[in-house]
Each structure stands twice: as structure tokens, then as C-alpha cells.
Amino acid sequence: MTTTASTGCVWITGASSGIGRALALRLARAGRPVAASARSLRDLAELSDEARLVGGFVQAHPVDVSDRSAMLAAARDIASDLGPIRLAVFAAGNHLPMSLETFNADVFQRLVQVNLFGVVHGIEAVLPDMLARRAGHIAVVSSVAGYRGLPTASAYGATKAALINMTEALKLDCDRHGIKLQLIDPGFVKTPLTDKNPFPMPFLISAELAAERIEAGLKSGRFEITFPKRFTWMLKLMRVLPYALYFRLTRQATRQR
């Protein structure tokens, strides 16, 4: 597949594995030029090769999302190579389970830098062009772990809650400037990150199915893309429960004692 700078492209961070990788392949297969970012050039090269086999185009742009200057440079390079970034999906993230016995600030700092600032850096990088064009589409991948606190996820959940709040706060301003902003809150998706969870994960789905749901959601007018619906709506209801009932149910569901 050939591309020209006039067509514009999709930029996906966190594209070396999990949801980001599956979404990159799916959008490339649908004919959209994809700029894929992650730290590992080897993983991105394998992704590009796989996309080529299904008739798609993925161009590797390795970057550390926690590096602000590198993210600004990556956005410039992508626009130079593939044209305007018409859709940016910020999916890079990390999860480090942390018990009470292993609680420490280093884990928080690492996750904040990747999960939160990785998205902040990406939004900062694409906004100037989108504002100038009064057009563009940004999707922020958070998690239902940001709805309420879950065992072993004090750091991870805090970063995801921050992403939800930040995206909500930006929504109306984006609307005024012609920029479509969406929030992606998946339930449990089988990835290298969720493989670390030491508790049962109800309604676990594959990364490929998650990518299918995200692609459909990106075409919709919904602000929040969340799935699987049965599970995520249960969690939405749990947000309004009093603490005593919430903690009791969470203890039972995660088998924490």
C-alpha cells in the first residue's frame, strides 16, 4: 500500500502489544495509514510486517511517551511523512500491581510518567495542528479501573482516574474548536498487563475483540467507549454505592481478605 502526505494518518501509541497493537492492525487492514509508536523498534517492525501481509500500512515511529521532547518530535515527523494526524489514539500504559507491603512512591512515579504524562505529552503534540485546522480526533485510553479503587491497583487506578477527569475537563473546549475527543474505558482485556492481575477477571475479552469495539466506537458520536457493556455498567452502578457496600462487594469479587 502506498501513502501520500495529503491523506493524513492515524497515530497510535502503545502499539507494540495489547489493545494498541490490535487496533493498529485493524485500522491498517481497513485502509488507514497508521503511525505506530512504542519503545521497541523490533516490535514495531514486526507489526509493520504483519500489517503488510494483510494489505495494510503501518509505519514505525519508536518513542518513549514519558519523554515530552521526543513526543513533540514524533508528531512532527509523522506529519512530515504521512500528512496531518487526523486521529490520535493514546493507548500506551503500564500496570504494576502493588500490595500494601510493597507500597512505594517509585511505582507511582513510573506509572504517572507513562500512563498520565504519556497521554498529556501526546495531546500537547497534536493539538496545535488540530486547533489550526479546527479539525481532528483524539481518543484517550483509560480503564474502568479509574471508576473506583481496586485492590493492588492504587497507582494504576489513580492514573486512570486522572485520565478520565482530564478528558472530561477537555471535552467542551474540544467541541468548541471542532476537535472530536473520546474516552475509551475498557473492562478486562487479555494483554501482558492484565496477565499480572492476581485476582479473577470477569468478562475477560481478547485484544482483537477490544479493537473491534473501539473501531466501532470511534465512528460513533459517543464520548465514552466502554466494553463489555454488562460488566462496565455494573461498575458504573458501583460508583454510586455507599462505601460500606462497595468495599464488601469488592472484597467478595476479588477474593481479598
Is residue 95 situated within a structural domain?
yes
Q: Strand, helix or coil at 121?
A: helix
How many domains would you assign to the chain? 1
CATH number of 19's domain = 3.40.50.720
pLDDT by 10-residue block (mean), the chain, 257 residues: 63 96 97 97 97 96 98 98 98 92 96 98 98 98 94 94 98 98 92 64 85 97 94 89 91 67
Residue of 210, 99, 223, 218 whose CA lies nearest to 164 = 223
| CA distance linking residue 25 with residue 32, whole number of Å | 10
pLDDT of residue 203: 77
Active-site pick, 147, 156, 243, 246: 156
| CA distance linking residue 3 with residue 6, whole number of Å | 8
Is residue 1 situated within a structural domain?
no
Annotation says 147 is catalytic: no
Is residue 4 situated within a structural domain?
no
Is residue 18 situated within a structural domain?
yes
For residue 177, give its domain range.
9-254
Which cell numbers in the block locate residue 132? 489550526
pTM passes above 0.85: yes
Is residue 171 situated within a structural domain?
yes
pLDDT of residue 194: 64
**11 contacts 88 by C-beta, under 8 angstroms:** yes
Q: Which spans in the chain are helix H? A: 18-29, 41-53, 68-82, 105-111, 117-133, 154-176, 207-218, 229-238, 243-254
| CA distance linking residue 80 with residue 8, whole number of Å | 10
Is residue 2 situated within a structural domain?
no
